[in-house]
Structure 1
Amino acid sequence: MIRIGIIVGSTRPHRKAETVAEWVRDLAVKRGDAEFELVDLRDFPLPHLDEALPAAFGQYEHPHTRDWSERISSLDGFVFVTPEYNSSTSGVLKNAIDFLYAEWGDKAAGLVSYGVDGGARAAEHLRQMLGRVKVADVSAQVALSLHTDFEGFTDFKPAAHREEAVTTMLDQVVSWGTALRPLRAAA
């Protein structure tokens, strides 16, 4: 089975990303067609990009980069849970992506975004970033609104139909992640 990391894309105090990611994981583990696990950026305290060489060289001098590389290398695909901050994804998620290059390549990703408008702009920016590091993002997306999926803009209470959107997105991530496996093996 392939391994899919559900990346918690915020490290802010009182973040919603962790609760959303746990909800996605709880739905995902019922499937049985892949292994799903949380990857919390809080567990990988990456400073602002501090490697001397570009990530494309793959020559990491810092232990925190090597730990991050090992974790991402172990996965076949991703679900990125991203907030929308100032019409984009979080800086910490952008930084985490920038730390690596080859480790991301030829893997599939789905997006779960949240914000006032469902995190749509954050998801679009994230798609551009992922394309640059050769991640194949799937078309199905889960866009959660702070107005309708969070009581009082804080307590996560997703609308029932959101589960179907998660299922569709996961179907695509698993199938693409599996289909891309020969490319990863050749690399």
Structure 2
Amino acid sequence: MTKPKIAIIIGSTRQTRFADKPAQWVFEQAKKRDDLEFELVDLRDYDLPFFNEAASNLWMPSKDEHAVKWQNKIGEFDGYLFIVAEYNRSITGALKNALDQCYKEWNHKPMGAVAYGGVGGARALEHLRNISVELQMVPVRNAVHIGGGEFMKVSPLGANEPMSSIEGILLPSLKNTLDDLAWWGNATKVARGK
């Protein structure tokens, strides 16, 4: 069996987003593992319209070419690690729209997250986990939360230090999250007959 392929999805599209910094750090750390394969997937690259299909692609094919391109990309993966910004106690509108553009592509695959913002992005991640259940994903227990002093240490709004300045705090939770994705990624691949 091939190793699970995990998308690291950058869930913000703002020009001034912070997401690139933790996404690159996570990607570099993740590539050190030999039990999972990773690819960075940036919502900016898909120019998704607001969801405007007659129904979910579970029920009928989507017509918008950008949505179909996104669905095809998401369908390539065996699991997902979302880089989650907290906006007003939830996920970004761009991420919610991207989640809505697919349905069957998400099904029966694990998802984890690296969240940042107020209280380490915990409230946004809680919303994302609820959405992922409806999309028939398997939300893993562990997650990485960048909040408080750590966030201000690496954010351009604060000291803007490199992610390495806080990685000692983040690495244990990242390892646990990736371990969860590996276990569930393998289990769900078998269950899906992949």
Aligned partner letter, 2:110: A
Partner of 2:140: 138
2-structure distance, mates of 1:127, 1:148: 23
Aligned partner letter, 1:166: L
User: Of 23, 27, 45, which aligns to 1:21?
Assistant: 23
- The superposition leaves residues 87-112 of structure 1 with CA deviations (integer Å, 9 ceiling, x where unpaired) of 00101000000011100000011111
Residue 49 of structure 2 corresponds to residue 41 of structure 1: no
Distance 1:152 1:97, change over 3 A: closer
How many residue pairs match? The answer is: 186
1-structure distance, mates of 2:118, 2:129: 19
Q: What secondary structure sits across from 1:7 in the alignment?
A: strand
Task: Say whether the 8 Å CA contact 1:105–1:184 is kept in structure 2.
Answer: no
Residue 180 of structure 2 corresponds to residue 172 of structure 1: yes
Runs of 4 or more above 6 Å deviation: none
**TM-score normalized with structure 1 length:** 0.94
2-structure distance, mates of 1:159, 1:168: 14
- The superposition leaves residues 3-37 of structure 1 with CA deviations (integer Å, 9 ceiling, x where unpaired) of 00000000011211121111111100001111101
Task: Say whether the 8 Å CA contact 1:117–1:145 is kept in structure 2.
Answer: yes
Partner of 1:105: 107
Partner of 2:80: 78
Aligned partner letter, 2:57: A
Aligned partner letter, 1:25: F
Aligned partner letter, 2:116: Y
**Unaligned segments of structure 2, at least 5 residues:** none
2-structure distance, mates of 1:148, 1:159: 9
Distance 1:152 1:74, change over 3 A: closer
Residue 186 of structure 2 corresponds to residue 185 of structure 1: no
**Between the two proteins, what is the percent identity of the paired residues?**
38
**TM-score normalized with structure 2 length:** 0.91
Task: Say whether the 8 Å CA contact 1:5–1:39 is kept in structure 2.
Answer: yes
Partner of 1:161: 169
Task: Say whether the 8 Å CA contact 2:56–2:62 is kept in structure 1.
Answer: no
Answer 1 or 2: which has greater strand percent: 1
Aligned partner letter, 2:12: S
Q: What secondary structure sits across from 2:192 in the alignment?
A: helix
Q: Which moved more, 1:153-162 or 1:126-135?
A: 153-162
